[in-house]
């Protein structure tokens, strides 16, 4: 067997009769939570990995900004380096776990240009520049693998690419961010306020000190773009994903959801649709969503992730597991490393991913969904009829409409306000619509805001899975 690696090619040019190398050199870029665990696995499980690959996996070095810093798994000092370029040039496989766009992009391009295989978990980079990196890898005949970029330890990208390659995936819907799922789960199960649930997530290490990327939905949006890329075999970018976070979700939203038999989850959704003008494409969206309690995704608790896939022939599939954390994500990284290493030992061209389909990204207004709209309305005769009429005017039908009096907490809060006046009584109205086009539902809500009988549109949440 001949190992087709950059190091092997250089050796063969110098000594054509020399046997193939006994080790593959691995360059690790980044030694954070995931990188440290990858280093641990490469070190502690070296014999097991060698038996599975057919060659030793040798850690050539680890690029870090501070070689003397403390880490979750400490390697000998001589393995740490600040010279990323030299490290990349010495390796057969480059594992990029730094995150961010630069210098990760430049270093990956450097590795690809010299024929080294690359493994990355960098969702932000792939969601922004994935297409050009995939193309570069294809032209260089090398491999760029990225299972760890979505849903941690859950094997989801390889099944979409390989297991379902002979099928047509119509929809992917997933809980792709553990931080937001933990927060929403706490709000649902304990009644915690958003700020308190976020603080607990941070104390447990589920949320960063700056949680913006998670709670505003940006992290899930990057994963939605990658999932759509793999599911529909077409290039998508993060700026084609409609994105809403969870910062506006309140205890009242959770109470209304629970009373209606739903739970709130932040979902990343990519689905094939046909637009009103007949254009076939896909809508990519991330937003808080109501799911029926009996839906499989509704039962995903804590910081776990799950991805629900619908395909024409396979039907409904769900992939579930830990979606973050050093060891789980390192497991996905090492799966890619072992797969690539086996190919290098046996020889052959790199496995490339170059989306060829033309599936345009369509505006979110073309999506079909349902809404739960919570209104604060005047409690007088004729109000319900006026609201129902306004909804019908926009081609939207109502599944249910429930009117409840203001809670005691609301009344006490009002009475404590200096500007409170003894006006006509009010109540809360909860409306759940049938499925309709998103743009029609949005127009319906805008019309409701203009009705004299409506004091406030308290919240609007989409509903899926009915």
Catalytic residues: 223
How many CB atoms neighbour CB 277 within 10 A? 7
Residue 412 CB neighbours (<10 A): 9
Query: 134 and 355 in contact (C-beta within 8 Å)?
Result: yes
Nearest CA-CA partner of 438 in 401, 404, 395: 395
Q: Is residue 304 within 8 Å of residue 261, measured between CB atoms?
A: no
CA 111 to chain CA centroid, Å, is 26
| Cα distance between residue 32 and residue 29, in whole Å | 10
- What does each C-alpha distance from 466 to 151, 229, 445 come to in angstroms? 25, 26, 21
44 in Cβ contact with 38 (< 8 Å): no
Q: Are 409 and 255 in contact (CB under 8 A)?
A: no
DSSP string spanning 379-438?
-STTHHHHHHHHHHHTT--EEEEEEEEPPHHHHHHHHTSTT------EEEEEEEEPPEEH
């Amino acid at each position: 067997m001949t190992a087709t690696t950059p190091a092997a090619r250089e050796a063969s040019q110098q000594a054509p009769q020399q046997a193939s190398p006994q080790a593959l050199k691995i360059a690790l870029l980044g030694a954070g939570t995931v990188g440290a665990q990858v280093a641990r696995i490469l070190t502690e499980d070296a014999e097991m990995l060698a038996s599975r690959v057919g060659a030793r996996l040798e850690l050539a070095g680890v690029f870090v900004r501070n070689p003397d810093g403390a880490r979750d798994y400490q390697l000998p000092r001589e393995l740490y380096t600040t010279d990323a370029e030299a490290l990349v040039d010495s390796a057969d496989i480059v594992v990029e776990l730094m995150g961010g766009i630069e210098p990760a992009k430049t270093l990956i391009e450097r590795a690809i240009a010299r024929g080294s295989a690359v493994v990355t978990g960098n969702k932000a980079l792939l969601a922004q520049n994935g297409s050009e990196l995939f193309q570069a890898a294809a032209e260089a005949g090398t491999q760029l693998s990225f299972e760890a970029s979505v849903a941690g330890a859950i094997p989801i990208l390889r099944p979409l690419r390989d297991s379902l390659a002979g099928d047509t995936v119509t929809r992917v819907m997933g809980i792709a961010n553990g931080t937001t799922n933990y927060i929403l789960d706490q709000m649902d199960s304990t009644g915690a306020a958003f700020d308190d649930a976020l603080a607990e997530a941070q104390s447990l290490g589920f949320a960063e000190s700056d949680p913006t990327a998670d709670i505003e939905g940006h992290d899930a949006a990057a994963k939605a773009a990658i999932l759509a890329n793999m599911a529909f075999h077409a290039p998508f970018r993060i700026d084609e994903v409609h994105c809403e976070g969870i910062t506006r979700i309140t205890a009242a939203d959770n109470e209304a959801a629970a009373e209606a038999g739903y739970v709130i989850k932040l979902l990343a959704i990519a689905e094939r649709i046909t637009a009103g003008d007949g254009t076939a494409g896909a809508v990519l969206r991330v937003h808080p969503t109501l799911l029926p309690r009996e839906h499989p995704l509704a039962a995903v608790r804590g910081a776990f992730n799950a991805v629900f896939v619908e395909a024409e022939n396979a039907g409904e599939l769900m992939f579930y597991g830990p979606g973050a954390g050093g060891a789980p994500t390192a497991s996905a990284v090492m799966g890619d490393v072992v797969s690539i290493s086996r190919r290098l030992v046996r020889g052959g061209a790199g496995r490339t991913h170059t989306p060829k389909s033309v599936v345009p990204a369509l505006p979110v207004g073309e999506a079909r969904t349902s809404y739960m709209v919570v209104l604060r309305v005047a409690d007088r005769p004729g109000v319900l009829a006026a609201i129902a009429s306004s909804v019908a005017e926009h081609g939207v039908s109502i599944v249910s409409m429930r009117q409840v009096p203001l809670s005691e907490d609301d009344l006490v809060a009002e009475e404590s306000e200096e500007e409170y006046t003894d006006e006509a009584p009010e109540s809360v109205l909860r409306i759940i619509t049938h499925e309709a086009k998103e743009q029609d539902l949005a127009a319906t809500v805008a019309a409701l805001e203009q009705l004299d009988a409506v004091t406030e549109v308290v919240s609007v949440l989409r509903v899926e899975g009915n």
